[in-house]
Amino acid sequence: MENKNVNKNGENEEFDLAQMEEETAQMLRLRYLNRDNAVFERTKGGFVSLKIGDEFYPRVGVYASFPFADPEKYISIREATEKAKEIGIIMDLNADVDAETKKMLKEQMAVRYFTPVIKKINSIKDEYGFAYWDVETSNGRCKFTIRMNSSSVVYLTDTRLLITDLDENRFEIPDFTKLTAKELKKLDLFL
Amino acid sequence: MKERKTAESENKAVRVYGGEKLPKDFERCLKELGFAPQDFIYIIPVDLNEDCEFTTGFVCLGKEKLVSCVAAVMPNEIRYFKGSANINAVSAEAIRDWKTEEFEVDRVNEIKIERTVGGGVLAALTDEGKEDAVVAVFSNRKMGAAIKLEKLYKELKEKGEIPTEQLEEEKSDEYCPKCGTMYPDKERKICPRCMNQKSIFIRVMGYLKPHWKKIVIEFMCYLTTALLNLVWPYLSGTVLYDKVLGKDDAFLGSVGLNAGDYMTALLLIVATMVVTKITIQVVGIIQGVLTATISPVLVRDMKNDVFKAMGRLSISFYNSRQTGSLMTRVLSDADEVMGFFTDGLPYFIINIFTITATAIIMFKMNVTLAIMALVFMPITFFISWCMLPRLWHRFGRRHRARRTLNSRINDNLMGARVVKAFGQEDNEVGRFEKANNRYRDAEMALVAYDNKFYQLYHAAENLAGLLVWLIGAYLILIKKEFSLGLLITFTGYVNQLNGPMDFFSHFIRWFTNCMNAAERMFEIIDAVPEVAECEDPVRIEKLNGDVELRNVTFGYEEHKPVLKNVSFKIKGGEMLGIVGRSGAGKTTIVNLISRLYDPNEGTVLIDGVDVKNLSFDTLRGNVAMVSQESYIFIGSVADNIRYARKDATNEEIIRAAVLASAHDFICKMPDGYDTIIGSTGRMLSGGEKQRISIARAILANPKILILDEATASVDTETETAIQQSINMLIKGRTTISIAHRLSTLRDADRLVVIDDGKVTEEGTHSELLAQKGTYYKLRELQTKALALRD
């Protein structure tokens, strides 16, 4: 907490409109990060740290701007505080950083956007306002329950579904047209 | 309950979140590390490993150590999430590898949940942040447990120990002991599966009770019709053909006619047939009239009940549901239910009666023919039973397609201004067409399938008819044991079966629809409001107007607090200003004071009494709010101002309007205070609406007045005017005012700055300026920005 060296002396000074406007202006600017100005490193504790010039962040958050549409582009790197202020943005993981950094950041995103992919539908039973799902996912067999309303199953595209359970755990069907006819029939309720 | 107690005493000190049982293998793992479960204060389960694979894991909190143990993934394990039965099954009796990690409580300053999209990461934070480490990863399923651990750790660090009451078990989800279904409502332990359709059925019957006399008469009408319908084939077949046209003198004698007087007999039989038909018609009319008088009354009663229940429910109920679906519930569900009970049910009984009676008559007439006629019935029933689910499916799909279409239209109408402003009419047509096509496809699929039903039934009916004719003719011509009249009578009965058959093809769907609609309605009628008046509430005649928030934590969604441990006090008659950036939780605070929601933790006190114990009369009569979104109901201006106090005189209304600087523009309207406003009436500007709602609050004369951005949508001049009226208004009352424009708050006795759900600064205007914090910054920014513009 104490080691945030950004504007750390701001509190002691008199109020300065110019400085404040500078801060606001900074908020409106995008700072691009790439292999030339930013060094990402794995920490011992399992997080990722970032060094930009003499700025150092012991732990940063990795956010995708388009987690579904374009998960490897426009990666927003943010402070690990509650405000999660943006430090900078990586335009393209494939072009702007080296392979090792890409891997490291993708690991962080895998945790952040953890969404089991539904591979097979064993059964969907709808009863009294809830639907009980039994599915095989990329993470093993799962049995979960969703509320029967329009926000539980959302079309991300014409063929891609996002399913949210009672605890807001998320499951994904990347392309429901690829399911078998039998599975589709079970899913029919939501199509 | 008792079983759990003994289990706890075995485990002595340790408590496990949700009372979960610890797997043997995990205890073994702890033992290998040199621990026993009772070395810890609290243990929470987690469900993911570092690579985000589902597994079993635990985080154990002790006085000196924090230990995380995560088991190796077992590929064939089933993961149960909230709501699926069998949730607490201990699956892991198997022996497996555990990955463990120990943290020193001395070195870890804080345990913090880093929220991810589908769960979170428990992070151990250290000095400098360089040794921050992942303790465990979990999905949203375990979020409650993680929050508990985060809190306990904070307690442990601050006080050196955790008071036992903090370890109290959290209220977990409850499952029906009979079938394992989760109760939709924790508080109301009613299992929807076990509260079966039978009990719903009986409850609906309760609505019919007051009308039982009419219903009995109606039933008699149905019965008469059915009986006469049974006589009809006999008259038009046997009597007409065999007895009269067949010149049966014995028959003539039996009805008291001279032998050979066939013309009279013919006239008589025709007259009887006419009378029968007329009777059927008359009875039908009576029954129709009766239905028309009962049904609307029943529908009205049900709608009233549902609407009443909806009024009683808390704001959160409305937030979690779409207005559209609520409207369907009030409007069409009642019709659906009552349609079935006044129409479907009597027909059901009559049709059963008709089928049985017809079958008996048929068998009496000729067994072979009867079998031929009836053999198809069970077959068709069986086939349609198999086909029904698919038909329902298609109905469901059409229903959903219609809903999508409706919401698309709704979306477009609400956003008409934006659509026009960006010239997107053509694109919108495209979007609409897509949904519309989907609806067409659903409808076509449904009709196509429904047709199959009709084909099946008609084929069966025709086949049965043909067979009867064929065999009947054979019996007449070859065997000579049957007459033409009898055959015509018989086919008459065969046709008689068609009506009931068609009916049964729809009946099951009708019944299910009705039960679903009834269930939806009872769900609302039975719903327990989250914010309810307590039993034996405190009534205070004259409020002093003291308001206090004590350690209030609240979030609209579980586990997502908007307010975090907020405390402040307002003395009666004071004006408190609340400042903070948008989304900081300002409006939430006033929602809690007026008890639209109840805090998750902590208390809101008015005059030292917890608002939960105050009667709604006292609360609503003394707390009034003017909010950023002012709602105008359909009605006259006067009615709208009078909304909170129906007995207010016209003079009082004008006085309130003058105080709210609304008198002027109201008088200028063509019909003055009688002008009809609201969704159908005259258009009002945002500022005008705002002023009418201020007048409404002034007239309500509350002891505690809440102004939530009340002057945000009026111009500066009007604001100054309203400001003056507010200055008069706030005398003698407690006022809580939220504003972005700090000038609005210049008269506040005290100010509170809210940031990210916490009170960050508190004091008088000059105290806050002296602190040179956020308030100072905001004020400087507003004054300097204004100055620059000049």
pLDDT tens per residue, range B431-459: 889 889 989 998 998 888 888 877 888 88
B226-241 mean pLDDT: 82
Find, among B789, B775, B777, B665, the residue nearest to B715 by Cα.
B665
Among the partner-chain residues B133, B143, B321, the one whose CB lies closest to the CB of A45 is B133
| Residue where the block lists tokens 């399913």 | A163
Is A165 in contact with A159 (CB distance < 8 Å)?
A: no
Q: Which residues of B368-397 are buried (b: 16+ CB within 10 A; e: fewer)?
A: ebbebbbebbeebeebbeeeeeebebbbeb
- Best mean pLDDT range from A183-187, B312-316, B721-725: A183-187
Query: Containing H/E element for B726?
Result: helix B716-729
Please indicate if any CB of chain A lies within 8 Å of the CB of B772: yes
Please indicate if any CB of chain A lies within 8 Å of the CB of B82: yes
Report the C-alpha gap between B573 and B436 in whole angstroms.
58
Report the C-alpha gap between B510 and B345 in whole angstroms.
10
Asked if pLDDT for residue B708 goes beyond 60, the answer is yes
Among the partner-chain residues A15, A59, A111, the one whose CB lies closest to the CB of B132 is A59
Kindly report, residue by residue over B144-161, the tens digit of the pLDDT: 888 888 888 888 888 877
* Residue A22, in any domain of the structure: no
Sign of CA pseudo-dihedral B661, B667, B670, B671: positive
Residues A94 and A122 in one domain: no
pLDDT value at residue B178: 67
Q: Is B78 in Cβ contact with A189 (below 8 Å)?
A: no
Residue B463 burial (C-beta neighbours within 10 Å; 0-12, 13-18, 19+): middle
Q: How many CB pairs under 8 A join A and B?
A: 154
* Residue A165, in any domain of the structure: yes
Among the partner-chain residues A20, A80, A127, the one whose CB lies closest to the CB of B193 is A127
Q: What percent of chain B has pLDDT over 70?
A: 90
Angstroms from B757 CA to nearest CA on chain A = 11
Angstroms from B784 CA to nearest CA on chain A = 8
Angstroms from A74 CA to nearest CA on chain B = 18
Of A86, A112, A138, the one marking the end of a domain is A112
Q: Is A67 in Cβ contact with B193 (below 8 Å)?
A: no
Among the partner-chain residues A3, A59, A145, the one whose CB lies closest to the CB of B82 is A145
Asked if pLDDT for residue B640 goes beyond 70, the answer is yes
pLDDT value at residue A147: 82
- Centre a 10 Å sphere on the Cβ of residue B124 and count the other Cβ atoms it contains: 24
Residues A154 and A90 in one domain: no
Domain of A149 in residue numbering reads as 118-190
Is B141 in contact with A67 (CB distance < 8 Å)?
A: no
Report the C-alpha gap between A104 and A112 in whole angstroms.
13
Least confidently predicted of B231-245, B581-595, B649-663: B231-245
Q: Is A139 in Cβ contact with B53 (below 8 Å)?
A: yes
* Residue A74, in any domain of the structure: yes
Residues A37 and A69 in one domain: yes
The overall average pLDDT reported for chain B is 81
| Residue where the block lists tokens 């009372």 | B19
Residue B116 corresponds to which amino acid? Answer: T
* Residue A21, in any domain of the structure: no
Q: Is B403 in Cβ contact with A15 (below 8 Å)?
A: no
* Residue A82, in any domain of the structure: yes
Q: Which residue of A has its CA nearest to B131?
A: A45
pLDDT value at residue A1: 37
Is A141 in contact with A134 (CB distance < 8 Å)?
A: yes
Q: Is B184 in Cβ contact with A130 (below 8 Å)?
A: yes
Report the C-alpha gap between B268 and A57 in whole angstroms.
107
Of A52, A84, A112, the one marking the end of a domain is A112
Q: What is the CA radius of gyration of chain A?
A: 22
Kindly report, residue by residue over B320-356, the tens digit of the pLDDT: 666 666 666 667 788 888 888 878 888 888 888 888 8
Q: Is B118 in Cβ contact with A141 (below 8 Å)?
A: no
* Residue A58, in any domain of the structure: yes
Q: Which residue of A has its CA nearest to B401?
A: A191
Asked if pLDDT for residue A5 goes beyond 50, the answer is no
**What Å distances lie between residue B334 and A109, B296, B507, B514, B686, CA to CA?**
49, 10, 18, 9, 37
Query: Which of A115, A168, A170, A187 to substitute to test the interface with B, most B CBs within 10 Å?
Result: A168
Angstroms from A30 CA to nearest CA on chain B = 22
pLDDT value at residue A3: 40
Number of separate domains in chain A = 2
Chain B environment of A20 (Cβ under 8 Å): 777, 780-781
Angstroms from A73 CA to nearest CA on chain B = 18
Please indicate if any CB of chain A lies within 8 Å of the CB of B78: yes
Is A146 in contact with A165 (CB distance < 8 Å)?
A: yes
B95-107 mean pLDDT: 83
pLDDT value at residue B411: 81
Residues A103 and A145 in one domain: no
Residue A137 corresponds to which amino acid? Answer: T
Q: What percent of chain B has pLDDT over 90?
A: 2
Q: How confident is the model at residue B93 (pLDDT cuts 50, 70, 90)?
A: low
Find residues 365-424 of chain B whose CB sits inside 8 Å of chain A. Answer: 393, 396-397, 403, 407
Of A92, A112, A132, the one marking the end of a domain is A112
Q: How confident is the model at residue A9 (pLDDT cuts 50, 70, 90)?
A: very low
Kindly report, residue by residue over B346-382, the tens digit of the pLDDT: 888 888 888 888 889 888 888 888 888 888 888 888 8
pLDDT value at residue B1: 39
Asked if pLDDT for residue B87 goes beyond 80, the answer is no
Q: Is B129 in Cβ contact with A3 (below 8 Å)?
A: yes
Q: How confident is the model at residue A117 (pLDDT cuts 50, 70, 90)?
A: very high
Asked if pLDDT for residue B282 goes beyond 90, the answer is yes
Q: Which residue of B has its CA nearest to A14?
A: B772
Angstroms from A168 CA to nearest CA on chain B = 6
pTM: 0.70
Q: Is A143 in Cβ contact with B84 (below 8 Å)?
A: yes
- Best mean pLDDT range from B527-536, B570-579, B737-746: B570-579
Least confidently predicted of B52-66, B377-391, B664-678: B377-391
Residues A96 and A48 in one domain: yes
* Residue A19, in any domain of the structure: no
Structure tokens at A138: 């990329």
Structure tokens at B215: 């219903």
Residues A40 and A92 in one domain: yes
Asked if pLDDT for residue B651 goes beyond 70, the answer is yes
Asked if pLDDT for residue B315 goes beyond 90, the answer is no
Chain A environment of B114 (Cβ under 8 Å): 61, 80
Kindly report, residue by residue over B582-611, the tens digit of the pLDDT: 778 888 888 888 888 888 888 999 888 888
Is B408 in contact with B526 (CB distance < 8 Å)?
A: no
Asked if pLDDT for residue B701 goes beyond 50, the answer is yes
Is B47 in contact with B26 (CB distance < 8 Å)?
A: no
Chain A environment of B523 (Cβ under 8 Å): 129
Please indicate if any CB of chain A lies within 8 Å of the CB of B346: no
pLDDT value at residue B189: 60
B191 vs B117: which has the higher pLDDT = B117
Distance of CA B171 to the CA centre of its chain: 23
pLDDT value at residue B586: 86
Please indicate if any CB of chain A lies within 8 Å of the CB of B686: no
- SS3 label, residue B320: coil
Residues A154 and A87 in one domain: no
Asked if pLDDT for residue B4 goes beyond 50, the answer is no
Residues A102 and A125 in one domain: no
* Residue A49, in any domain of the structure: yes
Chain B environment of A80 (Cβ under 8 Å): 114, 129, 132
Characterise B581 by phi-psi region: left (phi > 0), alpha (psi -120 to 50), beta (else): beta
pLDDT value at residue A6: 40
The residues with which B570 forms a beta bridge, in sequence order, are B547
Find, among B496, B596, B606, B597, the residue nearest to B542 by Cα.
B606
Please indicate if any CB of chain A lies within 8 Å of the CB of B52: yes
Asked if pLDDT for residue B547 goes beyond 80, the answer is yes
- SS3 label, residue A49: strand
Residue B260 burial (C-beta neighbours within 10 Å; 0-12, 13-18, 19+): exposed
Q: How confident is the model at residue B302 (pLDDT cuts 50, 70, 90)?
A: confident
Residues A36 and A68 in one domain: yes
Q: Which residue of A has its CA nearest to B392?
A: A189
pLDDT value at residue B786: 63
Q: Is A167 in Cβ contact with B140 (below 8 Å)?
A: yes
Q: Is B133 in Cβ contact with A145 (below 8 Å)?
A: no
Is B783 in contact with B789 (CB distance < 8 Å)?
A: no
Q: Is A144 in Cβ contact with B119 (below 8 Å)?
A: no
Asked if pLDDT for residue A4 goes beyond 60, the answer is no
B563 vs B732: which has the higher pLDDT = B563
Kindly report, residue by residue over A27-40, the tens digit of the pLDDT: 777 888 888 888 99
The overall average pLDDT reported for chain A is 82
Residues A79 and A63 in one domain: yes
Kindly report, residue by residue over B662-679, the tens digit of the pLDDT: 888 888 888 889 888 876
Angstroms from A90 CA to nearest CA on chain B = 20
Report the C-alpha gap between B137 and B48 in whole angstroms.
5
Angstroms from A114 CA to nearest CA on chain B = 6
Find residues 256-315 of chain B whose CB sits inside 8 Å of chain A. Answer: none
Find, among B621, B602, B627, the residue nearest to B612 by Cα.
B602
pLDDT value at residue B383: 84
Q: How confident is the model at residue B279 (pLDDT cuts 50, 70, 90)?
A: very high
Asked if pLDDT for residue A11 goes beyond 60, the answer is no
pLDDT value at residue B278: 92
Angstroms from A33 CA to nearest CA on chain B = 22
Is A52 in contact with A88 (CB distance < 8 Å)?
A: yes
B684-688 mean pLDDT: 80
Q: How confident is the model at residue B190 (pLDDT cuts 50, 70, 90)?
A: low
Residues A123 and A171 in one domain: yes
Distance of CA B178 to the CA centre of its chain: 25
Q: Is A150 in Cβ contact with B130 (below 8 Å)?
A: no
**What Å distances lie between residue B599 and A68, B62, B564, B593, B604, CA to CA?**
36, 30, 10, 10, 8
Residues A59 and A93 in one domain: yes
